[in-house]
Amino acid sequence: MENNKIAVGLDIGTTKIVAMIGRKNEYDKIEVVGIGKAKSLGVKRGVVSNITQTIQSIQQAVDEAESVSGVKIEDVVVGIAGQHIRSLHHSDYITRNNADEVIDEADIENLVNQVHKLVMLPGEEIIHVLPQEFKVDSQADIKEPIGMYGGRLEANFHVVVGQVSSIRNIGRCVKSAGLDLSDITLEPLASAAAVLSVEEKEAGVALIDIGGGTTDLAIFKDGIIRHTAVIPFGGNVITDDIKEGCSIIEKQAELLKIKFGSAWPGENKETEIVSIPGLRGREPKEITLKNLSKIIHARVQEIIEHVYLEVKNYGHETAKGKLIAGIVLTGGGSQLKHLRQLVEYITGMDARIGFPNEHLAGDSEDALSSPSYATAVGLLMEGLNRDGREEEDLIEEVTEEGADISENDAAIDEKPKSKKKKSFFDKFTESLKDFLDNAE
Confidence band, pLDDT 50/70/90 cuts, at residue 270: confident
Reduce the secondary structure of the chain to three states and give it as a string: CCHHHCEEEEEECCCEEEEEEEEECCCCCEEEEEEEEEECCCEECCEECCHHHHHHHHHHHHHHHHHHHCCCCCEEEEEECCCCCEEEEEEEEEECCCCCCECCHHHHHHHHHHHHCCCCCCCEEEEEEEEEEEEECCEEEECCCCCCECCEEEEEEEEEEEEHHHHHHHHHHHHHCCCEEEEEEEHHHHHHHHHCCHHHHHHCEEEEEECCCCEEEEEEECCEEEEEEEECCCHHHHHHHHHHHHCCCHHHHHHHHHHHCECCHHHCCCCCEEEECCCCCCCCEEEEHHHHHHHHHHHHHHHHHHHHHHHHHHCCCCCCCCCCCCEEEECHHHHCECHHHHHHHHHCCCEEECCHHHHECCCCCHHHHCHHHHHHHHHHHHHHHHHHHHHHHHHHHHHHHCCCCCHHHHHHHHHHHHHCCCCHHHHHHHHHHHHHHHHC
- The reported pLDDT for the residue numbered 412 is 36
Residues 6+ apart with CB under 8 A from 199: 325
Q: Is the pTM of this model over 0.95?
A: no
pLDDT by residue (tens digit) across 380-416?
999 888 754 444 443 344 334 444 434 444 443 443 3
- The percent of residues in the chain predicted with pLDDT above 70, rounded, is 86
Mean pLDDT of 249-258: 90
Confidence band, pLDDT 50/70/90 cuts, at residue 283: confident
- The reported pLDDT for the residue numbered 425 is 52
Mean pLDDT of 317-338: 88
Of 331 and 437, more confident:
331
The set of long-range contacts for 350-353, using a CB threshold of 8 Å and a minimum separation of 24, is 350/325, 350/326, 351/326, 351/327, 352/326, 352/327, 352/328, 353/328, 353/329
Determine which of 215-224, 226-235, 362-371, 412-421 has the lowest per-residue pLDDT on average.
Answer: 412-421
Confidence band, pLDDT 50/70/90 cuts, at residue 417: very low
For the cut 90, the answer to whether the pLDDT of residue 340 exceeds it is yes
Write the CATH number of the domain with boundaries 235-297: 3.30.420.40
For the cut 90, the answer to whether the pLDDT of residue 53 exceeds it is yes
- Strands 285-288 and 180-186, sheet pairing: unpaired
pLDDT by residue (tens digit) across 127-147?
888 888 899 998 988 989 999
Of 321 and 20, more confident:
20
Q: Which amino acid would we find at residue 107? A: D
For the cut 80, the answer to whether the pLDDT of residue 78 exceeds it is yes
Tell me the pLDDT of the chain averaged across its residues. Answer: 84
pLDDT by residue (tens digit) across 207-227?
999 998 889 999 999 888 888
Mean pLDDT of 14-24: 91
Annotated domain spans of the chain: 235-297
- The reported pLDDT for the residue numbered 415 is 37
User: Over the range 326-361, which residues count as b (16 or more CB within 10 Å of their CB) and which as e?
Assistant: bbbbbbbbbbbbbbbebbeeebebebbebbbbebbb
Determine which of 221-230, 292-301, 370-379 has the lowest per-residue pLDDT on average.
Answer: 221-230
